[in-house]
Amino acid sequence: MKVHFLGTASALVTRDRDNSSLLVESGSDLILLDCGGNPAGKILYFNYRPADLNAVFLTHLHIDHCYGLPALLFHMFLEKRTTSLELFCPEEEFSALNGQLSSHDIENDVRTYSIHKNPVPLQETSALWETDDTLVYAGPAFHSRPTRAYRVIEKKSGRTVVFTGDTIPSDEVAKFAMNVDLLVHEATYLESHSDLASEYGHSTAGQAAQIALKANARALALIHFECLSGSSVEEYRSEAARIFKGRIYTPDDLSTLHL
């Protein structure tokens, strides 16, 4: 299993960091988790074609997590994709998703392949999506609009990754991520700005580390950075390391972790 970080920033991007999004290779499957920035160009960077994607999972529909979707879908039409694409988003956001695609006339413009839109309910007991190589489960996350976390399991290796999307720290997320190989948890702020994290429905690096500790995660990747007042990602790593003693990553955009 490989996890490619297409972006690692919060809604406030920097010169070197774009909005958070992951590309996961699981066996022969290629999965996109959230869809900000320029997803097509970044998928090409990793020597895949966007048309190779099997499924797209949206954690929620705040603009920085989904605004690249219409362009991605249209790009795959221009590539002459013919196989159906599975698209998932929280069931409470389904009308908003339809509105976004309708505003760009995607249903009419995309003519070479079908888009199978799947509402994601609030349940963890059965797989949301399954192939010969992969299982994907949806779990709870808690933000300022309906949000889901996703757990991706590569069947052959048993490797697992959990992606939280945007969320406040919660025991429910820790339970969903129990014994995961890699927890990719948002860490928008440092503890010095915990008031902002609480106000806007986000987590600090220290809070993300607490969730990784509770989940008995093997490794933690911090993303969704909002580097205020010149703070560096090393400060995020240091804050988390005071709590979580497993491996901690603060990945750069267009970097890869091998599980």
* pLDDT for res 231: 76
The torsion angles phi and psi of 254, rounded to 5 degrees, stand at 65, 35
Per-residue pLDDT at 229: 62
* Active site members: 64
- Residue 183's beta-bridge partner residues? 162, 220
Closest CA to 151 of 179, 187, 170, 118: 179
pLDDT value of residue 124? 74
Low-confidence ranges of the chain (pLDDT < 50): none
Among 173, 169, 226, which residue's Cα sits nearest to residue 19? 226
Residue 125 pLDDT: 72
Q: Which helix (H) or strand (E) holds 199?
A: helix 194-200
Domains of the chain as residue ranges with CATH:
2-258 (3.60.15.10)
- Name the pTM for this structure: 0.96
pLDDT at residue 82, rounded to an integer: 96
Q: What are phi and psi of 257, to 5 degrees?
A: -115, 135
Instruction: Write the pLDDT tens digit of every residue in 50-62.
Output: 999 999 999 999 9
pLDDT at 70 (0 to 100): 96
DSSP 8-state class, residue 251: P
